[in-house]
């Protein structure tokens, strides 16, 4: 009986080992360590809070159609409602107050900061796909991506009152896939084929949906608790934690997309120097 059990355990271990080798999950973990995924996610959250959020606050405040300003953008993205949404709203400035205090020079600076944030996302995508950094004069790509990002976030909030249930889920899913699919292709200057970028876009949207559910279950009560214990600082810390999750999903989704493309969808062969055939041609 003991021999039979020991043989079953060995077969089970061999099966797990073969499954691990087939999945090539070790390569995915190694790529994540090389990219310093968590470190980049924390950088994403910091830059989003310091550089992107002020620009979005001004844009949301200038919108004559969607009420609630940037607070509604944030609570919708985090999946918050009720008291936790009110706490976020109390921390963010009133919708119209920022317009009168923002000068032309201030608006230009906000735009520059936003482009810098887009540049950090572009750099991460280039690292994920092992591409050389783009020349500085391609900053127009970063500016265009920033404008499209703002439009994507705007339509997500604008359709909240018009669509419900399955209709809104379908629209959010399709628009998210299109944005993250196009965004990678555009920021990378067309150096990676559309087909290779699709798994990353799908993984990013699935990850954001999971993060939204996690936020609803965990961050909703946590925001209220932190607001009572630490005030506005506690609320900002929760928002920063959520932004770290967003950065992890966006970069992790793109990283998963490359791994899946190379090892399971469009497998490539390596030469003796470790480079792939597509890397030798300079394209993926």
> Does residue 273 surpass a pLDDT of 50?
no
Q: How confident is the model at residue 274 (pLDDT cuts 50, 70, 90)?
A: very low
pLDDT in tens, 191-215: 999 999 999 999 999 999 999 999 9
Long-range contacts (CB closer than 8 Å, 24 or more residues apart) made by 25-32: 27/259, 27/263, 28/255, 28/256, 28/259, 31/128, 31/255, 31/258, 31/259, 32/252, 32/255
pTM for the full predicted model: 0.82
pLDDT for 117: 94
| Per-residue confidence band for 64, with pLDDT thresholds at 50, 70 and 90 | low
pLDDT, position 3 = 46
**Over the chain, what HEC string results?**
CHHHHHHHHHHHHHHHHHHHHHHCHHHHHHHHHHHCHHHHHHHHHHHHHHHHHHHHHHHHHHCCCCCCHHHHHHHHHHCCCCHHHHHHHHHCCCCCHHHHCCCHHHHHHHHHHHHHHHHHHHHHHHHHCCCCCCCHHHHHHHHHHHHHHHHHHHHHHHCCCCCCCHHHHHHHHHHHHHHHHHHHHHHCCCCCCHHHHHHHHHHHHHHHHHHHHHHHHHHHHHHHHHHHHHCHHHHHHHHHHHHHHHHHHHHHHHHHHHHHHHHHHCCCCECCCCCEHHHHHCCC
Q: Establish how many alpha carbons lie within 13 A of residue 10's alpha carbon, considering only the half-sphere containing its beta carbon.
A: 6
Main-chain phi, psi angles of 63, to 5 degrees: -75, 120
Is the pLDDT confidence value at 160 over 80? Answer: no
Domain boundaries along the sequence of the chain:
31-281
The rounded distance, in Å, linking the Cα atoms of 86 and 104 is 31
**Averaged confidence pLDDT in the chain:** 80
226 near 90, Cβ under 8 Å?
Answer: no
In the prediction, which pLDDT does 166 show?
A: 84
Mean pLDDT confidence for 262-268: 66
The mean pLDDT value for 102-121 works out to 80
Band (pLDDT 50/70/90 cuts) for residue 61 is confident
pLDDT at 5 (0 to 100): 62
């Amino acid at each position: 009986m003991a021999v039979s059990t020991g043989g079953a355990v060995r077969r089970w271990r061999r099966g797990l080992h073969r499954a691990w080798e087939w999945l090539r999950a070790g390569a995915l973990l190694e790529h994540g360590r090389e990219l310093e995924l968590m470190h980049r996610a924390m950088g994403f959250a910091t830059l989003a809070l310091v550089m992107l959020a002020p620009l979005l606050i001004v844009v949301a405040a200038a919108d004559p159609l969607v009420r609630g300003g940037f607070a509604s953008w944030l609570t919708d993205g985090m999946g918050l409602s009720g008291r936790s949404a009110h706490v976020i709203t109390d921390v963010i400035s009133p919708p119209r107050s920022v317009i009168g205090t923002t000068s032309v020079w201030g608006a230009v600076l906000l735009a520059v900061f936003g482009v810098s944030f887009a540049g950090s996302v572009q750099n991460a995508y280039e690292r994920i796909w092992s591409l050389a950094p783009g020349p500085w004069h391609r900053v127009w790509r970063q500016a265009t991506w920033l404008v499209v990002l703002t439009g994507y976030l705007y339509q997500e909030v604008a359709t909240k009152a018009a669509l419900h249930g399955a209709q809104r889920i379908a629209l959010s899913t399709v628009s998210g896939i299109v944005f993250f699919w196009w965004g990678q292709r555009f920021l990378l200057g067309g150096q990676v084929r559309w087909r290779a970028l699709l798994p990353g876009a799908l993984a990013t949207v699935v990850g954001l949906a999971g993060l939204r559910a996690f936020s609803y279950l965990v961050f909703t009560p946590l925001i209220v608790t932190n607001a009572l214990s630490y005030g506005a600082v506690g609320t900002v810390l929760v928002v920063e934690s959520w932004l770290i999750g967003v950065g992890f999903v966006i970069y992790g989704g793109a990283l998963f997309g490359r791994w899946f493309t190379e090892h399971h969808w469009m497998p490539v062969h390596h030469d003796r120097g470790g480079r792939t055939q597509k890397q030798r041609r300079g394209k993926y």
